[in-house]
Amino acid sequence: MIELTKGFDEYVNQIVGRQNSNNLPDSNFKDGLFELDKNKYQLYNQCIVFENEIFFPHAFLRRNGRGNFLGIIQELNYQIKRGNVVQIRLDPFEKRQIEKLDEINAILEHDSWFGPKFSNDILDKNDNFSVTLHCTNKDDSAVKRYPVIYTIFRPSWLDKNKNIIQYYIEELLLTKSDKKSFLDNPIPYCSENYVVQKFVHFTYDRNEKIFEHIDASVRIFEFEEYQKIFAQIESGKIYDKHIPGVERYKLFKIQGRLELKDMANILKLYLYGNQHISEYFGSE
């Protein structure tokens, strides 16, 4: 596993400040995302090579924000080869010399989670949509593996005239102040000052029967603000998907023609460990 040299808060401050650290390889980028040109970049299991230097996807794409990458780079590489446009946020602090490539590329992690099936009615038939909330009891043993308590699924129209729908998926984890004694590891994506929330947005074209876009993002909350929205859900009220003053920061984005199996695999990799994903999508 790559040992990160910077802490959680330093990553938060960098992403919020929109700084371009580490002499990143391409000044032609938007929203902090670099387009991965197959003729310029080589993608490996755990890293990205550009002009004989090793770069990494952003740390928030790592397992629990500090572990290894669980197949997401391979998936992005596959989408590039299919002709889709792939952009990614790179780690602003970490890079290595090319001599370390074999050592880094040998890092692998495996899992046994299988991709879900989506609801055909929601994708192709429904005219009205409802928000769904999945939850796990804080004392459930599943929380020990990954401390997700709530996941919100929000289907809606993006453009009714063009027959395009969209999905928002948001997960909410336990925070440090609510840590249970049986949790052996630190709460991921959380410090005394900030909480990072994983957020997915994708669109589906009913006319073409394809997923045309997916982006994986994070929303960054000050600790007290996150506690307020968490308490709001606990009280039985789901907050609005747009929260004033809270931005989304994209980590990667894919545009093109995506199939159902692509979507299932991307959701699995980015929301790794979230049992609500298979609960929600797996029934169809």
Q: pLDDT per residue over 123-182, tens digit each?
A: 888 888 888 888 888 777 778 888 998 999 999 999 999 999 999 999 999 876 665 545
Contact 96, 102 (CB under 8 A): no
Contact 192, 179 (CB under 8 A): no
Query: How many residues are given for the chain?
Result: 284
- The pLDDT score that the predictor gives to residue 83 is 92
CA–CA distances in Å: residue 17 to residues 12, 25, 216: 8, 19, 19
- State the average pLDDT over residues 191-205: 95
Average pLDDT of the chain to the nearest whole number: 85
Which pLDDT band, with edges at 50, 70 and 90, does 69 fall under? confident
Lowest mean pLDDT among 50-59, 102-111, 138-147, 210-219: 102-111
Chain CA centroid to CA 101, Å: 25
Res. 116: pLDDT tops 50: no
Query: In percent, how much of the chain has pLDDT > 70?
Result: 86
- The pLDDT score that the predictor gives to residue 283 is 46
- Helix (H), strand (E) counts: the chain: 8, 12
More confident residue, 142 or 284: 142
Long-range contacts of 17-22 (CB under 8 A, 24+ apart): 19/92, 20/92, 21/92, 21/93, 22/90, 22/91, 22/92, 22/93, 22/94, 22/95
- State the average pLDDT over residues 113-118: 35
pTM of the model: 0.76
Res. 111: pLDDT tops 50: no
Res. 85: pLDDT tops 80: yes
Whole-angstrom distance between the N-terminal and C-terminal Cα of the chain? 37
Q: Within 10 A of 109 (CB to CB), how many other CB atoms are there?
A: 14
Res. 114: pLDDT tops 50: no
Which pLDDT band, with edges at 50, 70 and 90, does 34 fall under? confident
Maximal C-alpha separation, the chain: 55
Segment 206-225, tens digit of pLDDT = 999 999 999 999 999 999 99
